[in-house]
């Protein structure tokens, strides 16, 4: 392997320590509310990890565990109460919600200033308008990882493969905000390899294990692999790490790259939400 490894665990530790240091200076602590409905085991693990990270940083948490049979109006009322509670600075609805609930309607009740996941139309709009706001955690982590690798983003050709609302689209918007020239690819893109071979920075979020192979990248590319795929008990990314790392300048491993950054950026967003609500710069 010749590529430099972009260590998401190391960067996470740095950002978490900085966030904890800033939180320790506050008399009132930032508070993150987590709403979970049903007993999806993967969601339960994610929620526990978020609570643990918050506790380590000094951020308070309020967890609303709702039964799988909860109604739409009961769920909406929980979110409305948290929205009105001045002691709560961030609200996160753990997805997926049970199928009978309208997740979009529930999420729309989160005020933009408490939307620490950056999923509301207002925050997504601000990001596309190049304004300030609370931005989606995984794509924010992607940008931090590129900077951590010492790679300048401005002026580079960044190719993002995948256009989901939670990863691909916001990653493209944030890279554009950082002055990259951005190409956003998806399943209908023609001649994908021709485009990915032009990338100085390649962000991959397809959910297809090992999808990007060495013949699809140029020498010296910086690769951020967002993919998390479980195969035979092993977690692998969307990039064929073994072959691509022979050509890349820098690459994130899976696990240990983007993964740890998502919760870290959530913590950073919770502190940012607190500061915005208290008029702190
Ligand atoms: P989605 O399934 O929502 O989106 C996948 C995207 O990939 C779609 O835009 C799709 O295109 C595109 N795609 C699929 N096949 C191809 C193809 N053959 N060529 C080009 N584009 C293709 O996934 P997510 O964005 O939610 O997640 C992507 C990956 O990232 C998953 O592995 C997920 O587990 C992981 N993930 C990791 C996180 C982390 O914390 N590290 C957080 C969130 C996700 P189209 O729109 O045309 O269908």
- Expressed in angstroms and rounded, the spacing between residue 206 Cα and the centre of ligand 1 is 3
Q: What would the pLDDT profile of 108-138 be if each residue is shown by its tens digit?
A: 999 999 999 999 999 999 999 989 999 999 9
Q: Atom 48 (ligand 1): residue with closest C-alpha?
A: 187
Q: Above 90 in pLDDT, residue 268?
A: yes
Mark whether 204 and 239 lie in a shared domain. yes
Q: Atom 39 (ligand 1): residue with closest C-alpha?
A: 259
The number of domains in the chain is 2
- Expressed in angstroms and rounded, the spacing between residue 264 Cα and the centre of ligand 1 is 21
Per-residue confidence band for 281, with pLDDT thresholds at 50, 70 and 90 = confident
Mark whether 104 and 143 lie in a shared domain. no
- How do beta strands 181-185 and 90-93 pair? unpaired
Residues framing ligand 1 (Cβ under 6 A) = 138, 161-164, 166-168, 185-189, 192, 205-208, 226-229, 238, 258-259, 262
| DSSP designation for 185 | E
Angle at 264 between CA 118 and CA 121, to 5 degrees: 0
| CATH classification at residue 80 | 3.40.50.10860
Is residue 152 in some structural domain?
Answer: yes
Is residue 279 in some structural domain?
Answer: no
The pLDDT of residue 37: 97
Mark whether 90 and 201 lie in a shared domain. no
Please provide the average confidence, as pLDDT, over all residues in the chain: 97
Mark whether 87 and 163 lie in a shared domain. no
Mark whether 73 and 140 lie in a shared domain. no
Mark whether 173 and 247 lie in a shared domain. yes
pTM higher than the cut 0.95: yes
Is residue 92 in some structural domain?
Answer: yes
Torsions phi, psi for 117 (to 5 deg): -85, -15
Question: Which atom of ligand 1 has the smallest separation from the CA of 207?
Answer: 32
Residues 57-79 have a mean pLDDT of 98
- Give percent of the chain with pLDDT exceeding 70: 100
Is residue 6 in some structural domain?
Answer: no
Mark whether 238 and 178 lie in a shared domain. yes
Mark whether 54 and 159 lie in a shared domain. no
Q: Atom 18 (ligand 1): residue with closest C-alpha?
A: 187
- Give percent of the chain with pLDDT exceeding 90: 99
Is-contact 126 153, C-beta < 8 A? no
Q: What would the pLDDT profile of 183-219 be if each residue is shown by its tens digit?
A: 999 999 999 999 999 999 999 999 999 999 999 999 9
Q: Atom 1 (ligand 1): residue with closest C-alpha?
A: 164
Q: Above 80 in pLDDT, residue 36?
A: yes
Mark whether 194 and 249 lie in a shared domain. yes
Quick check: is 50 catalytic?
yes
| DSSP designation for 72 | H
Question: Which atom of ligand 1 has the smallest separation from the CA of 261?
Answer: 40
| CATH classification at residue 188 | 3.40.50.720
Is residue 267 in some structural domain?
Answer: no
Residue range(s) defining the domain that contains residue 69: 25-111
Question: Which atom of ligand 1 has the smallest separation from the CA of 206?
Answer: 7
Mark whether 105 and 155 lie in a shared domain. no
> Is 224 strand, coil or helix?
strand
Is-contact 54 62, C-beta < 8 A? no
Mark whether 57 and 140 lie in a shared domain. no
- Expressed in angstroms and rounded, the spacing between residue 112 Cα and the centre of ligand 1 is 25
Per-residue confidence band for 1, with pLDDT thresholds at 50, 70 and 90 = low
Mark whether 85 and 180 lie in a shared domain. no
Residues 41-49 have a mean pLDDT of 94
Burial classification of residue 202, based on how many CB atoms lie within 10 Å of its CB (0-12 exposed, 13-18 middle, 19 or more buried):
buried
Q: What would the pLDDT profile of 152-188 be if each residue is shown by its tens digit?
A: 999 999 999 999 999 999 999 999 999 999 999 999 9
Question: Which atom of ligand 1 has the smallest separation from the CA of 186?
Answer: 21
């Amino acid at each position: 392997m010749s590529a430099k490894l972009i260590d998401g665990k190391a960067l996470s530790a740095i950002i978490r320590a900085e966030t904890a240091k800033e939180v320790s200076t506050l008399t009132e602590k930032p508070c993150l509310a987590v709403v979970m409905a049903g007993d999806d085991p993967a969601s339960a693990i994610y929620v526990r990890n978020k609570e643990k990270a918050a506790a380590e940083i000094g951020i308070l948490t309020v967890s609303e565990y709702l039964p799988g049979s909860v109604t739409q109006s009961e769920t909406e009322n929980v979110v409305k109460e948290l929205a009105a509670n001045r002691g709560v600075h961030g609200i996160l609805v753990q997805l997926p919600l049970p199928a009978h609930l309208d997740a979009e309607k529930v999420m729309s009740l989160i005020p933009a200033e408490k939307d620490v996941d950056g999923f509301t139309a207002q925050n997504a709009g601000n990001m596309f308008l190049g304004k300030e706001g609370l931005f989606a955690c995984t794509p924010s982590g992607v940008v931090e990882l590129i900077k951590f690798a010492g790679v300048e983003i401005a002026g580079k050709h960044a190719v993002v493969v995948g256009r989901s609302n939670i990863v691909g689209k916001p990653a493209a918007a944030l890279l554009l905000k950082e002055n990259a020239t951005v190409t956003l690819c998806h399943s209908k893109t023609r001649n994908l390899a021709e485009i990915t071979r032009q990338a100085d920075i390649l962000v991959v979020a397809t959910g297809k294990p090992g999808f990007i192979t060495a013949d699809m990248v140029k020498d010296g590319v910086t690769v951020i692999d967002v993919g998390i795929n479980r195969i035979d008990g092993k977690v692998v990314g969307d990039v064929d790490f073994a072959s691509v790392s022979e050509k890349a300048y820098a690459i994130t491993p899976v696990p240990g790259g983007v993964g740890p950054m998502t919760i870290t950026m959530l913590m950073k967003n919770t502190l940012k939400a607190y500061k915005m609500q208290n008029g702190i710069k």
